[in-house]
Each structure stands twice: as structure tokens, then as C-alpha cells.
């Protein structure tokens, strides 16, 4: 019997059907963020600062994607290394601007036709984000929450257009495109006009969302943050602000694992959010001391997040995605590694005998619950993962990294 056969039998004994787990894993999409591939630079021809707004990619590893073609090439490599269903998550700054200077308040669906074509060819869905950073009109620290109406209106127009683009993308692909709004607005030091900014942000969002689009085409998500670099003392779009907004307006809430106090757990927020919100969008990364922009690895928390989704039976209401930027290692490898890890964590969660664990819990046999949870940690999930990779036609563990290194030698090092 091969490794998978043995694993299948072992899981069967504890009431788990591995075939079923593989089927579910195969139809759950993971949305892969494109901005890991170029350190969040984008393809605008403006002279805007490359980062700013409280986000920062560190490291200068060679080979980053310098244009749309290189980014699409890199993404194709990444996609070939991730088993299962995929989406690609893009930002407004990654439009096909053809060397022209296109303002953020001038973008339209035409600038994203190349992406639609590419997505169709590669059989992936797309998600979208307006870009409210790396721009002269974001330098004051306030975009949608800016007290100056001209600046605010500029950004409102940008986000409205992003929603229109998302609607177009979703319609073209026949796959809902999530438009996620994150703004950097906040302040380095103690701020006294807090209610004013938050009221302004609420009104700006209300205006942005005036137009309804069919959910089959696009859905809106709002993303909170605790702090950013240079924005340590105050963030307008805090957790409470967006949670309330999402609940009141029927929007998705985005939970980014790097946007909370280090001891706060996103895994525990899932069941707290689900009774109230339309759904959740996850931005997964690995927290290392501060804003977690490190590549996702198989941590206890990533597994716990997946377990919470599966235990809640909420795979259709929680949209899983990556969001980190590390410019200090091979970027293609970094992106593939994070996404593979998330799929592994999801598989691990799908291989859990939840009904048995619940029965122990109900009968207050907490020792049996703990013992089973602990034994599961070294159950042969790896062999099931290997089978998934083979079935999906992607290289398995101990092989895929060599593909990345070959690509580095043949493509990235020649840039
Ligand atoms: C920033 C947010 C946001 C960005 C992207 C580029 O802290 O996490 O999601 O990473 O929109
Ligand atoms: Zn994020």
C-alpha cells in the first residue's frame, strides 16, 4: 500500500473520509495577492512615492516583476505550484496603462481588460482593491477621511471606479470579484479630531456604496488596521469602526492577521463575526513582532483559523486570501509557499473528526478531547497532501522548491 493508502485507512478508523476532504479542498479557492511580486510598486508612470501610507516592503532581493508581462509570467509560475482552485488579487495600480499617465480618478474597466483576458486563459478568478496609498494626495495621512473635500472627493471617485471595475471583472469572468477597501488614514501622534474623521469616513463610504451591483459580479469588503508605520497613534478605520460598518451595511469584513494586537487571535474572531456579518475576507500572513507582513507558514494560528471556518461550516462565507510582502527572499517562491501553506492548513482542518470532538465536549470529557486533538497533530496529513498535489498536477513537497530555483536561474536572474 502506498503512503496515501495507509493514511486513508488510518483516517477512516477515526471516522474521516479523506476522499471527501480532498473534494472539499479542491473546490475552495484561495486568492493570491499579486503585490508580493513587486514589493507593492504597481505600474503607474506617475512619480508617486513607491510605498507610504503605513505599508512597507523591506528587502532588495533581485528579480522583482518590473512590468505587467513579468508579473503575469511570475504569477503563472506561482499558479503552477499551488494545487486547487485559485483567484488572483490585484490592486488598481496594476492596470495595463500602456505607458500613459492615467490618474487614479480616471481608471476604468478598459485598463483591466488584459487581466480579464489573462484570468480567462489561466482559469482563475480575480479580486480587486482600490489603491489609496503611494500617491501625492495620500501624503497628508488622510484619504477618504480627509477633511479637505477636494482630496476626499478624489479618493471617493477612485473607489467608485474600483467598484465599477470589480463589477466588470466579475461579470466577464462569471466569478464574483471582491473589492476590498483599505485606507491608511491615521496619524503618528495623539489626535484630537477622531470623531470628525470617523464621521467623514462613514459618509464617504456611504457615498461610495450608493450604487448597488449584483453580488454575482462583485462584493464589497472593508479592512481595519491597528496601526501603520508613521501612523502609530491613530487609525481612522479601526476594528470597531469597520465591524460596525460591515454589520450595518451588509458588507464583508476583512480580517488581516497582521492588523491586531499581537495577542489577539483572528481565529477567535471568525465565530464572533459570523452571526452578524454577511461574510469575511481573510488576509493571511505571519505575524513577527509588528504588522505581520511575513510569508505565511504552518503556524498553530493558521491551522486554528482554518479549523474555525470548517467547524462553523462557513467555507462559503469566508473568503480566503494571502496578504504579505517580503522583498528579502525569492518573491515567486514566497508567494507560492504562503498559498501552499494555507491549503495545507485547510486540509488539516478538513481531516478533523469534529463530531467526535464535539461529543467529548458535550459529555465533558475534556481529557479525551485534548488527547484526540493532540494525536491528530502527527496523523498522516502529509500523505493526503501529497495525493492532492499529484491529483492537481503540481509538484509535491520536497520537489516544488526546485521549480522555483530553476525559474530564478532561467528567468528572474536575467532581469
Ligand atoms: C495594509 C493592508 C492592505 C494592503 C494591500 C496592499 O496594511 O493589509 O490589505 O496590504 O491592500
Ligand atoms: Zn491586508
Residue range 81-128, pLDDT digits in tens: 999 999 999 999 999 999 999 999 999 999 999 999 999 999 999 999
- Specify the pLDDT at position 289: 82
The angle formed by the CA atoms of residues 288, 291 and 296, to the nearest 5 degrees, is 55
Residue with CA nearest ligand 1 atom 2: 182
- Residues 162-186, mean pLDDT to the nearest whole number: 98
Give the whole-angstrom CA distance, residue 49 versus residue 104.
14
Task: Judge whether 294 counts as a catalytic residue.
Answer: no
Q: Once rounded to an integer, what is the mean pLDDT over residues 293-299?
A: 95
Predicted confidence (pLDDT) per residue in 248-259, tens digit: 999 999 999 999
Q: Is 332 helix (H, G, I), strand (E, B) or coil?
A: helix
Listed residue (259, 240, 238, 249) closest to 279, CA to CA: 249
State the pLDDT at residue 46: 56
Q: In the prediction, which pLDDT does 50 show?
A: 55
State in Å: Cα 32 to ligand 1 middle. 13
Tell me how far apart the alpha carbons of residues 415 and 411 are, in angstroms, rounded to a whole number: 7
Say which residue, 45 or 143, is predicted with more confidence: 143
- Tell me the CATH number at 220: 3.20.20.150
* Cα 11–chain centre separation: 31
Does 305 reside within a domain?
A: yes
Tell me if 380 is assigned to some domain: no
Residue 391 belongs to some domain of the structure: no
Which cell numbers in the block locate residue 255?
Answer: 480580517
pLDDT 10s digits, 209-238: 999 999 999 999 999 999 988 899 999 999
What is the rounded end-to-end Cα distance, in angstroms, of the chain? 46
As given in the structure block, the three cell numbers for residue 385 are: 497532501
Alpha helices, DSSP H only, in 250-365? 266-273, 300-311, 331-350, 354-362
pLDDT of residue 323: 97
Average pLDDT for residues 391-399, to the nearest whole number? 98
Pocket test for ligand 1, best of 283, 284, 285 (most atoms within 8 A of CB): 283
Query: Of all residues in the chain, what percent carry a pLDDT higher than 90?
Result: 94
38, 54, 55, 266: which to mutate for ligand 1, most atoms within 8 A of CB? 55
Q: How far is the CA of 176 from the centre of ligand 1 (A)?
A: 20
Ranges 43-52, 69-78, 146-155, 290-299: which has the least confidence: 43-52
Distance CA 361, CA 355 (A): 10
User: Cβ atoms within 10 A of the Cβ of 232, count?
Assistant: 15
Domain count, the chain: 1
pLDDT band at 193 (very low <50, low <70, confident <90, very high): very high
Is residue 189's pLDDT more than 60? yes
365-375 average pLDDT score: 98
Q: Higher model confidence: residue 373 or residue 288?
A: 373
DSSP state of 197: H
DSSP-assigned beta bridge partners for residue 177: 218
Comparing 41-55, 66-80, 130-144, 149-163, which segment has the lowest mean pLDDT? 41-55
Which secondary-structure segment (H or E) carries 301?
helix 300-311
Ligand nearest to the CA of residue 91, numbered in listed order = 1
Q: Which residues line ligand 1 (CB under 6 A)?
A: 35, 40, 55, 91, 129, 182, 223, 225, 256, 283, 323
Q: Is residue 187 part of a domain?
A: yes
Q: Rounded to an integer, what distance in angstroms lies between the CA atom of residue 19 and that of residue 331?
A: 33
Q: How confident is the model at residue 291 (pLDDT cuts 50, 70, 90)?
A: low
pTM: 0.97
Domain hosting 159: range is: 29-350
Instruction: State the pairing for strand pair 234-235/186-187.
Output: antiparallel
> Above 70 in pLDDT, residue 52?
no
- From the candidates 202, 259, 269, 344, give the one annotated as an active-site residue: 259
Q: Do the domain assignments include residue 371?
A: no
Report the pLDDT averaged over residues 190-215.
Answer: 98
Atom of ligand 1 minimally distant from the CA of 129? 11
CB atoms within 10 A of CB 289: 7
Q: CA 336 → CA 54, 55, 256, 346, 372, distances in Å?
A: 25, 21, 19, 15, 31
The answer to whether residue 283 is catalytic is yes
Specify the residue with its C-alpha closest to ligand 1, atom 7: 55
The H or E element containing residue 125 is: strand 125-129
In a domain, 412, yes or no: no
Domain-embedded: residue 311: yes
Name the average pLDDT for the chain.
96
Average of per-residue pLDDT across 394-404: 98
pLDDT of residue 292: 63
Contact (CB, 8 A) for 178 and 91: no
Question: With pLDDT > 70 as the criterion, what percentage of the chain qualifies?
Answer: 98
**Tens-digit pLDDT profile for residues 302-332:** 999 999 999 999 999 999 999 999 999 999 9
The pLDDT of 161-185, averaged and rounded, is 98
Q: Which of 94, 182, 282, 321 to mutate to test the pocket of ligand 1 (most atoms within 8 A of CB)?
A: 182
In a domain, 164, yes or no: yes
- Residue 349 confidence (pLDDT): 98
Q: Which of 182, 220, 319, 326 is catalytic?
A: 182
Amino acid at each position: 500500500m502506498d503512503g496515501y493508502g495507509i493514511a486513508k485507512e488510518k483516517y477512516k478508523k477515526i471516522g474521516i473520509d479523506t476522499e471527501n476532504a480532498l473534494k472539499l479542498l479542491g473546490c475552495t479557492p484561495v486568492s493570491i495577492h499579486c503585490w508580493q511580486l513587486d514589493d507593492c510598486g504597481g505600474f503607474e508612470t506617475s512619480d508617486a512615492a513607491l510605498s507610504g501610507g503605513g505599508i512597507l516592503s523591506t528587502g532588495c532581493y533581485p528579480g522583482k516583476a518590473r512590468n505587467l508581462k513579468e508579473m503575469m509570467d511570475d504569477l503563472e509560475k506561482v499558479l503552477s505550484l499551488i494545487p486547487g482552485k485559485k483567484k488572483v488579487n490585484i490592486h488598481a495600480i496594476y492596470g495595463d496603462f500602456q505607458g500613459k499617465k492615467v490618474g487614479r480618478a480616471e481608471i476604468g474597466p478598459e485598463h483591466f481588460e488584459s487581466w480579464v483576458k489573462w484570468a480567462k486563459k489561466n482559469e482563475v478568478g480575480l479580486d480587486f482593491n482600490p489603491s489609496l496609498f503611494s500617491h501625492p494626495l495620500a501624503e497628508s495621512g488622510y484619504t477618504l477621511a480627509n477633511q479637505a473635500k477636494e482630496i476626499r472627493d478624489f479618493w471617493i471617485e477612485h473607489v467608485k471606479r474600483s467598484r465599477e471595475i470589480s463589477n466588470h471583472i466579475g461579470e466577464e469572468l462569471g466569478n464574483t470579484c471582491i473589492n476590498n477597501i483599505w485606507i491608511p488614514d491615521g496619524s503618528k501622534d495623539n489626535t484630537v479630531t477622531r470623531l470628525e474623521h470617523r464621521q467623514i469616513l462613514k459618509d464617504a463610504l456611504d457615498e461610495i456604496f450608493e450604487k448597488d451591483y449584483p453580488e454575482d459580479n462583485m462584493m464589497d469588503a472593508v479592512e481595519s488596521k491597528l496601526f501603520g508605520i508613521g501612523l502609530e497613534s491613530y487609525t481612522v478605520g479601526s476594528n470597531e469602526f469597520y465591524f460596525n460598518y460591515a454589520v450595518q451595511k451588509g458588507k464583508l469584513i476583512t480580517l488581516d492577521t497582521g492588523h491586531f494586537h499581537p495577542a489577539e487571535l483572528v481565529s477567535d474572531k471568525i465565530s464572533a463575526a459570523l452571526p452578524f456579518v454577511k461574510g469575511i475576507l481573510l488576509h493571511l500572513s505571519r505575524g513577527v513582532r509588528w504588522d505581520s507582513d511575513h510569508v505565511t507558514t504552518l503556524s498553530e494560528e493558521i491551522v486554528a483559523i482554518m479549523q474555525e471556518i470548517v467547524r462553523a461550516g462557513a467555507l462559503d462565507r469566508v473568503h480566503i486570501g494571502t496578504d504579505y510582502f517580503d522583498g528579502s527572499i525569492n518573491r515567486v517562491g514566497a508567494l507560492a509557499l504562503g498559498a501552499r501553506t494555507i491549503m495545507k492548513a485547510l486540509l488539516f482542518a478538513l481531516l478533523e473528526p469534529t463530531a467526535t470532538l464535539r461529543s467529548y465536549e458535550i459529555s465533558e470529557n475534556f481529557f479525551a478531547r485534548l488527547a484526540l486533538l493532540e494525536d491528530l497533530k502527527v496523523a498522516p496529513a502529509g500523505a493526503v497532501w501529497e495525493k492532492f498535489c499529484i491529483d492537481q498536477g503540481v509538484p509535491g513537497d520536497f520537489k516544488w522548491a526546485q521549480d522555483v530555483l530553476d525559474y530564478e536561474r532561467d528567468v528572474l536572474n536575467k532581469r
